[in-house]
Amino acid sequence: MIDSLARDAVDLVGADARAVLGITGAPGAGKTTLAQALVARIEELRGPGWAALVPMDGFHLADDQLRRLGALGRKGAPDTFDAAGYAALLARVRLETGRPVYAPGFERTLEQPVAAALVVLPQARLVITEGNYLLLDDPEWSPARAAMDAVWFVTADESTRRERLLARHVEFGKTPSEARAWIAGVDDHNAELVASTAARADRVIGPGGRTS
């Protein structure tokens, strides 16, 4: 499955231009795992640096800003990201191919964005980005979608997806009861919102790699 997807991703790249592929889906669906696997396989096929990964998570607002906005308790919702900054970064990586373009990352142990943690080098021909809200029909998020050549939507079995979320929250500091409350109060709402965007995807990738 990953070989076929990697070759399809490579085919997005034109003769002279750099392409941007988005990977989206609900929290815990496996976006990050797929994006990382794609970059690794593409680099095996085309060489180191041919593909770069720039996740949306680096555009989380820092906790200080979320406190200012009164939004810390729903961190991860669409309005807790710098959507305009994300769109601007994607536009830059499409056009600025002659020099390194730095991008923020996200440190899970801190649960905070980290400036200039990632880089898209000049030799990169394909940039893969992943995140929840790439297909959101919203004026704040539409410019990001406009900067992508294609967006693939990843789905997962619901019980598996929730188990992944629980394990992730516990790994990074929440108690199991806190994690379950967060999933029910925040993640589930975000997952419903993301699921409503699937029809806008160029491809849907289901459990086991099934595509449509």
pLDDT tens figures, 98-157: 999 999 999 988 889 999 999 999 999 999 999 999 999 999 999 999 999 999 999 999
CATH of the domain at 157: 3.40.50.300
Higher pLDDT, 94 or 108: 94
Taking Cα atoms as reference points, which of 48, 52, 47, 38 lies closest to residue 7?
38
pLDDT tens for residues 32-67? Answer: 999 999 999 999 999 999 999 999 999 999 999 999
**pTM for the complete prediction?**
0.93
Task: Count structural domains, the chain.
Answer: 1
Which own/partner contact pairs does 69-78 have at CB distance under 8 Å and 24+ positions apart?
Answer: 73/186, 74/185, 74/186, 75/111, 75/186, 76/27, 76/132, 76/186, 76/187, 76/190, 77/186, 77/189, 77/190, 78/132, 78/133, 78/136, 78/138, 78/140, 78/141, 78/190, 78/193
Helix (H) or strand (E) holding 36: helix 31-46
* pLDDT-based confidence at residue 17 (cuts at 50, 70, 90): confident
User: What tokens appear for 88 in the block?
Assistant: 């601007």
* pLDDT-based confidence at residue 209 (cuts at 50, 70, 90): low
Measured in whole angstroms, the distance separating CA 92 from the mean position of its chain's CA atoms is: 17
Helices 31-46/2-10 angle, 10° precision: 70
**What is the domain extent for residue 180?**
2-209
* pLDDT-based confidence at residue 208 (cuts at 50, 70, 90): low
